[in-house]
Amino acid sequence: MEDSQSYLMLTFRLLGSLALLMYGMKTMSDALQKLAGPQLRHVLGAMTTNRFTGMLTGVGVTAAVQSSTATTVMTVSFVSAGLLTLAQAISVIMGANIGTTLTAWIMSAGFSFNITDFVYPAFLIAIILIYRKSHRVVGDFLFGIAFMFLGLGTLRQTGIDMNIGSNQAVLSFFSSFDPQSFSTTLLFLLIGGILTMCVQSSAAVMAITMILCSSGVLPIYQGIALVMGENIGTTVTSNIVALSAGTQARRAAFAHMFFNLFGVCWILIVFRPFVNIVCDLVNYDVTMTKESVSNAVFLKNSAKLSFVLAAFHTCFNLVNTGILIWFIPQIEKLVCYVIKSKNEDEEDSRLQYITAGIMKTPEISVLQAQKEITLFGVRIQRMFQMVRDLIDERDTDKFAKLYSRIEKYEGISDNMEIEIANYLEQVSDSHLSDETKQKIRQMLREIGEIESIGDACYNIARTMNRRLQSNKDFNETQYKELHEMIQLTDDALTQMNHVMQGRREDQSLKETFRIENEINAMRDRLKAQNIQSINEHEYDYAIGTMFVDLISECEKLGDYVVNVVQARLGKPSVEE
Q: Cα–Cα–Cα angle for 280, 282, 286, nearest 5°?
A: 50
pLDDT, one tens digit per residue, over 6-48 is 667 767 776 777 677 667 766 766 676 566 555 555 555 555 5
pLDDT at res. 493: 93
Q: What is the DSSP track for 451-508?
A: HHHHHHHHHHHHHHHHHHHTT----HHHHHHHHHHHHHHHHHHHHHHHHHHS-GGG--
pLDDT at res. 1: 47
pLDDT at res. 46: 55
Mean pLDDT, rounded, for 206-229: 77
Length of the chain (residues):
576
The amino acid at 45 = G
Question: Using CA atoms, how far apart are residues 255 and 432, in angstroms rounded to an integer?
Answer: 34
Question: Using CA atoms, how far apart are residues 150 and 161, in angstroms rounded to an integer?
Answer: 16
Question: Using CA atoms, how far apart are residues 542 and 559, in angstroms rounded to an integer?
Answer: 26
Please say if the pLDDT value at position 508 is more than 60: yes
Q: Which residue has the higher pLDDT, 422 or 105?
A: 422
What letter would DSSP give residue 574?
A: -
Please say if the pLDDT value at position 315 is more than 80: yes
Mean pLDDT, rounded, for 541-570: 91
Question: Using CA atoms, how far apart are residues 235 and 258, in angstroms rounded to an integer?
Answer: 9
pLDDT at res. 29: 62
Whole-structure pTM value:
0.58
Long-range contacts, 136-140 (Cβ 8 Å, 24+): 137/31, 137/34, 137/35, 138/31, 138/35, 140/27, 140/30, 140/31, 140/34
pLDDT band, very low/low/confident/very high, at 357 (cuts 50, 70, 90): very low
Please say if the pLDDT value at position 525 is more than 60: yes
The amino acid at 556 = K
pLDDT at res. 173: 62
pLDDT at res. 359: 46
What letter would DSSP give residue 571?
A: P
pLDDT band, very low/low/confident/very high, at 496 (cuts 50, 70, 90): very high
pLDDT at res. 216: 67
pLDDT at res. 33: 59
pLDDT at res. 113: 58
Domains and CATH numbers, the chain: 2-338 (no CATH), 361-568 (1.20.58.220)
Phi, psi of 200 (to 5 degrees): 55, 35
pLDDT at res. 120: 78
Question: Using CA atoms, how far apart are residues 468 and 482, in angstroms rounded to an integer?
Answer: 16
pLDDT, one tens digit per residue, over 243-279 is 656 677 778 778 888 888 898 888 888 888 888 888 8
Q: Is 306 within 8 Å of 214 (Cβ atoms)?
A: yes
Q: Which residue has the higher pLDDT, 418 or 145?
A: 418
- Residue 415: Cβ within 10 Å count: 14
pLDDT band, very low/low/confident/very high, at 365 (cuts 50, 70, 90): confident
Q: Cα–Cα–Cα angle for 419, 421, 422, nearest 5°?
A: 65
Please say if the pLDDT value at position 170 is more than 60: no
* CA 163 vs CA 20, 187, 205, 211, 214: distances in Å: 21, 25, 19, 10, 11
| Percentage of residues in the chain having pLDDT higher than 90 | 16
- pLDDT, the chain, mean: 77
pLDDT at res. 482: 92
